[in-house]
Chain A
Amino acid sequence: MTTELSLSDHAHALHPPTSTGLDNRKVAIWTFIGSECLFFASLISTYLVYKGRDTKGPTPDEILQIPLVTFGTALLLFSSLFVVIALNGAQTGNRKRLLFWLGMTIVCGMFFVGMQVYEFQHFVHEGLKLQTNLFGASFYTLTGFHGTHVTIGVIWLITVFITALRGKLPPERALNLEMAALYWHFVDVVWIVIFPVVYLMK
């Protein structure tokens, strides 16, 4: 009981009382995620309204590769699982669990970015550039912005990993990882929408 009380006191000492009773940093990250929903909605709707309006190829049917992207999708889904296990490790003070699963999340994220770089290179080689047709412009803009978000997420997770490695991520500071994890899950849910819309409904 004494330990619980002291942890509670410590957690509250990290942020002053707020009108909502919630940590403002968590409210801020959720507000940011809400605004990102609208950002990706505009990109997805642009892709959809230009779908099938090309006057010349390459078209989605000719160029998109399902097996490679399915592998990338699985990686991103697994990374979401790994980061939430790492968060559990951070919240319960299990340092070994935190470091291992956070490391695995970063590796999965890097592989996903690598997959996307390979895919873009392959498409350019096949003749699909940003300025080639409407599909090229909307596809690269949508998946490129998503890839940029994944890259930012990887960098953010690496900084949290280094903090944890230095022993500066005790349970009462687990929110630092939770915010990065929330962003990472958002990047995952955006891909959950992009994958069927772009690759499976071509």
Chain B
Amino acid sequence: MDSHAAHAPEAQGLDPHEKSHPGPGVYIKIGVVLFVLTALEVAAYEVAHRPGSLGTLLQPILVPVLLLLSAAKFALVAMYYMHLKQDSKLFSGLFVFPLIIAAVVIVSLIALFIYHYSYQRGML
């Protein structure tokens, strides 16, 4: 089998209208980025919990920073390792639509309970 045939969607067991998946080189690069992002998460946590000006500065923005880093890792795995970038858009829809509902469920429940606890304490 020549190199073109080996990388053809059909040769990879994919349906013909799906694009070919990337090779190990791309996967390793993404793996390095994921490792760096995880190291940044832990570093942000450590710095924010240490006494000092940098820790004081980072403490109020720690949660948004961690959420941002986590979202970046999530997107990289979904797009490249789960092949949503190359595969049919139907798969992206099947994953992203429930993901949006999941995010709405989490935010709604948190908001509901914040309201509930505030009401209990007589703050409302």
Q: State whether B82 touches A182 (Cβ < 8 A).
A: yes
Closest-by-CB residue of A relative to B7 is A92
Closest-by-CB residue of A relative to B109 is A45
CA distance A33 to B96 in the complex (A): 10
Chain A interface extent, by class? 35 or more
- Residues of the B chain whose Cβ atoms lie less than 8 Å from the Cβ of A178: 13
Quick one: given A3-B5, A74-B35, are A21 and B17 in contact (CB under 8 Å)? yes
CA distance A181 to B80 in the complex (A): 12
Prevailing SS type, chain A contact patch: helix
CA distance A182 to B83 in the complex (A): 9
Q: State whether B66 touches A196 (Cβ < 8 A).
A: yes
Contact partner of B38 (CB less than 8 A), chosen from A8, A70, A173, is: A70
Q: State whether A173 touches B13 (Cβ < 8 A).
A: yes
Q: State whether B27 touches A66 (Cβ < 8 A).
A: no
Q: B-side interface residues toward A, CB under 8 Å?
A: 1, 4-8, 10-18, 21, 23-24, 27-28, 30-31, 34-35, 38, 41-42, 44-46, 62-63, 66-67, 69-70, 73-74, 77-78, 80-82, 88, 90-91, 94-95, 97-99, 101-103, 105-106, 109-110, 112-113, 117
12 CB < 8 A contacts A-B: A4-B10, A4-B11, A7-B5, A38-B98, A42-B105, A45-B110, A48-B109, A53-B117, A77-B34, A81-B27, A192-B77, A201-B66
